[in-house]
Structure 1
Amino acid sequence: MSGRFEAVTTPLHGLLVLTRRKMADERGFLSRLFCEDDLAAFGWQGRVAQLNETGTTFKGTVRGMHFQCPPHAEIKLVTCTRGRILDVAVDIREDSPTFLQHFAVELSEDNACSLLIPQGFAHGFQALTDEVRMIYAHSHPHTAAAESGLNPQDPALGIDWPLRVINLSPRDAAHPWLSPDYRGVAA
């Protein structure tokens, strides 16, 4: 355990669930969301190039499965600060022994967990409650020409969304299902 984070490994190499240690007293609590020194031990490389907050109004909403293609690939640290989500990462690294396998974990304002997603993964989530808020730290700035994604309802991914999928953006719904010759992205 580092000073503020404890890592739980997943079956997908490099993908980690981080539990944040809360310091609390009668006034409330403090929970560190990011620390370059601590997170370097878990695979964070470089700077935080971008920090984003998202709000999702309705439970059942799915956002994803997004990634940026090399050389603009990014590491993400995803944290839910309000409500609950099912956070999902899919391994799309070519030649990975876990290629196209996914891992899902519930993140919530109560469980103090974050998902550290290395390069070579597609990411998405489903809101399990109304009024979800999330914070994303990105190691690389958004590059529109490098953005891509997988269709979150593609049966080839095998993602079992717990709620009926609603509010899928036109962009996310337009991602085609994977063809048999899909090879992923270079690691």
Structure 2
Amino acid sequence: MKIKQVLFIHGGGEDGYIADITLADSLQKELGDAYKVHNPQIHFNDTLPDFGWLKQIGNEISSVKDDIILAGHSFGASMLLKYLSENRVKKKIDGLFLIAPPYWSGDEEWKQGIKLQKGFADKIPKDIPVHFYHCKDDEEVNFDDFLIYKQKLPRAIFHEILQGGHQLNNDLTIVAKDIRFLLKNS
């Protein structure tokens, strides 16, 4: 049996990688041995407009053999969306699973390299199923960002979760279930 490859991109902040190890572990546990969750640490480079994330994400996608499933949390989820809307990926992406991604807006200098381009939704390949997850009680990323994505990317599937905070109580059972369902029916 061929093992399905999942690339999980963690959230930002000083300890985003450490905080999200539990999420990646939860995803691996729920998906089981038929899947391999890759959880690389992405490093911030304050001298670059995108903090160096897009190049590192591209390298990580390229390093995974075979088809790939992409999942990301918070800042990492927003950077996955940016990467896919601005770069052509040659390998097959079976699905994109975005947990609590912020929608970057405003004129602050530091946001310019991480904001999505106008018309970003039209640049994401139509054959990639896209799922968004956001808890209504998230205190890190405003639930309004979820509603903006819902408006801008209506073809995606949106999972509104009542509680679980920014980390979904460190339980990605709902994401794993959707990944398994998607691949079972493809």
Same fold (TM over 0.5): no
TM-score norm. by structure 2 comes to 0.27
**Structure (1/2) with the larger helix percentage:** 2
**Structure (1/2) with the larger strand percentage:** 1
Q: Higher relative contact order by CA 8 Å / sep ≥ 6: 1 or 2?
A: 1
Q: Which structure's CA Rg is the greater one?
A: 1
